[in-house]
Amino acid sequence: MIKWKEKKFFELTAKELYEISRVRSEIFVVEQKILYNDFDRKDYKAIHLSGFVEDNLIAYARIFDKGDYYENYPGFGRVAVVEKERGKEYGKELVKKCIEVCEKNFEKKEIKISAQAYLENFYDELGFEYRGERYMEDGIPHCAMFFKFE
């Protein structure tokens, strides 16, 4: 069972920030071989959603209100589940939790994400809809996807 924590940047402890940075680096820089600067200053505006199993960070995402990442939509990104914990439905649980955090904290009725294109079906199964064009971001094909609250 995952224990979820939602914190703004300045509420994170040094240990939590270190673990978040470590996990993001392991997944996006090392595993996916993306050479980019993860420190984009957007973390200051985000709600950081961290999922723990027995005090180990195993899932993470950062969540934004409209205007903080996308001009007209709230959204989320840096969706990550550590490699050894994949295949246990934690990714779906993480995305559902992101949707819940958006619904609870923001007024907009629709969420926008920039999904890695190979995950389009994953997000589609969770109620997201592809709209627009595909594009390259950090050398990886992406697509805009939207989730509409009912």
Q: Residue 47: which CATH number? A: 3.40.630.30
The CA distance from 18 to 83, in Å, is: 18
CB crowding 130-144: b at 16 or more within 10 Å, else e? beeeeeeeeeeebbb
Beta bridge partners of 144: 114
pLDDT reported for residue 35: 81
What is the total count of domains within the chain? Answer: 1
Structure tokens at 30: 């090392």
In a domain, 119, yes or no: no
In a domain, 148, yes or no: no
pLDDT digits (tens, 9 = 90+) for 53-97: 999 999 999 999 999 999 999 999 999 999 999 999 999 999 999
Q: What is the per-residue DSSP string for the chain?
A: -PEEEEEEGGGS-HHHHHHHHHHHIIIIIIIS---S-S--SGGGTSEEEEEEETTEEEEEEEEE-TTTSSSS--EEEEEEE-GGGTTSSHHHHHHHHHHHHHHHH---SEEEEEEEGGGHHHHHHTT-EEEEEEEEETTEEEEEEEEE--
pTM of the model: 0.94
Domain that holds residue 26: 3-108
Which residue ranges of the chain lie beneath pLDDT 70? none
In a domain, 65, yes or no: yes
pLDDT reported for residue 36: 80
pLDDT reported for residue 33: 85
In a domain, 147, yes or no: no
In a domain, 25, yes or no: yes
In a domain, 74, yes or no: yes
pLDDT reported for residue 139: 87
Closest CA to 111 of 81, 68, 82: 68
> Counting beta carbons within 10 angstroms of the beta carbon of residue 120, is it exposed (0 to 12), middle (13 to 18) or buried (19 or more)?
middle
In a domain, 81, yes or no: yes
In a domain, 73, yes or no: yes
The CA distance from 141 to 149, in Å, is: 26
